[in-house]
Amino acid sequence: MKAWEIERNNILQVVPCYEEDDNETIWEESSSGIETSQDEMIKMYWHSQVPGSRAPESICLASIQAIENRGYKVEGGTQLIKEGYEAYERGDIVRLHELAYAVFEAVYNAEKDEAHPYWKQKFYESFAELKQAVDYPQDHKFEIDEEYLEKTYAGWLAQIIGGAYGTCIEGYTGANIKKKYGEVDRYIRKPNTYNDDITYELALLLAYEKHGKNTTAKDISDEWIVRIPMGWSAEDFALKNLKVGIVPPESGRFHNPFNEWIGAQMRGVVLGQLYPGNIEKAAEAAFMDASISHARNGILGEVFNAMMASYAFVEKDIRKIIRNCIDLIPADSEYGSVIRFAYEQCQTHDDYYSAWMPCEEKYQRYNWIHVYPNACAQIIALWYGNGDFNRTLAACGGCGQDVDCNAAQIMTVLGIINGPDSIPEYWKKPIGDELDTYVRGLKKISIRELARRTADVARKLK
């Protein structure tokens, strides 16, 4: 039957059901809840606090900042933000709705600034273009055996520890974190495993369980739609695109000012685990996954982390891994220039904070969730931590920025290299073996079981 025939058949079968004493309508009941949820979301777009750390964030302001970082001019953007803040203070919800969509319209129609340095770089719009620019090493053919299982378990455990460590200090500068807590080399409050960052890696794993070698970006994005109730910044905009039928890579490109933020970089290491020692395949899979919500330099962030995790199965020297992976990101991309700048600071400074400060200064115009300052923080923490779990975490926290995302990714790399016994007990014991998530159908899972399921997928991909 055609759609019109189904609808016609439905209407022929129904009869009026109104009762004389029925003064309530379904519409009134349902619209009230919808209105409240939409109002709360609009207020969050103007002013929100990061759930774990209470750091302030404004998606409306950040959308203008992000698109201007990408070489556009937003006409009247500053005035819109001023008026939006004023409406928020006086509780004018109607005006907040009006101004929020005025901001997004202005961002969408922003004028390209031809003189902006952003347009001087080379863009890598497909993995084929990226592959032509670099020479990937041969597949090391790492076996999916008991050693792999232990390394993967250590990687997941270290990621969850890193996320729990960083959740309560993300969104602040390193200087202000130190002023409040000193050097953060322990959990500063009782940790929990509930973290939105890992959500997207779990959705990816579920897609690979179903489709194996044939997994596509659309397969992964389908899991996003059914498994993930909400996102933030790039993932929020991508989910909106996906739910109206805009599929990857357009879901990451279309009207998404945040597609060079950290959201793809924060989920790269799982691809390194699925392709241990196969650097090229890890990079290719990361490029594909990142395209759901990101573009250009945002994609390269996921590629970089996936390659580091893949290398970690076959190389123990973390500094060598960093050098090798930097070489596999083209220098003529802006992301390539950023990670090389961070690397240069590591060669000329005696301590991590001295190396970090030039990076913080150089990339100060970028939001703390942008991929650039966080890529620098990752490299610096790994370099000066030099394989030590505690020193690496402390340096990661000391740089500030999006600490939970950064710590989760880089600690995965160390976990893979050194195994579970290298992780001090005071980091492991509070976490235990249970991961709590908000993924539909996967609200709780054993970390050991997660490692086993990762191994099962990796075996299929061989």
Give the pLDDT confidence of 407-451 residue by residue, as tens digits: 999 999 999 999 999 999 999 999 999 999 999 999 999 999 999
Domains located in the chain, CATH noted: 35-118 (no CATH), 127-461 (1.10.4080.10)
Under DSSP, is residue 344 helix (H, G, I), strand (E, B) or coil?
helix
Helix (H) or strand (E) holding 112: strand 111-112
pLDDT computed for residue 26 by the predictor:
53
Question: Where would I find the H helices in 228-351?
Answer: 234-243, 250-253, 269-274, 279-290, 297-312, 318-327, 334-348
pLDDT computed for residue 16 by the predictor:
81
What's the length of the chain?
462
pLDDT computed for residue 453 by the predictor:
98
**Global pTM value:** 0.95
Distance between CA atoms of residues 137 and 287, nearest Å? 17
Query: What values do phi and psi take at 288, rounded to 5?
Result: -65, -50
Largest CA distance in the chain: 83
| Cα R_g (the chain), whole angstroms | 23
Answer yes or no: are the C-beta atoms of 420 and 154 closer than 8 Å: yes
Two tokens, residue 429? 């014991």
Q: What DSSP designation does 438 have? A: -
Distance between CA atoms of residues 203 and 191, nearest Å? 23
pLDDT computed for residue 19 by the predictor:
66
Sign for the pseudo-dihedral over CA of 17, 20, 22, 23: positive
User: What residues of the chain score a pLDDT lower than 70?
Assistant: 18-32
Chain centroid offset of residue 438 CA: 15
Sign for the pseudo-dihedral over CA of 242, 263, 431, 458: positive
pLDDT computed for residue 304 by the predictor:
98
Q: Residue 325's closest CA among 301, 347, 296, 304?
A: 304
Residues 53-97 have pLDDT tens digits of 999 999 999 999 999 999 999 999 999 999 999 999 999 999 999
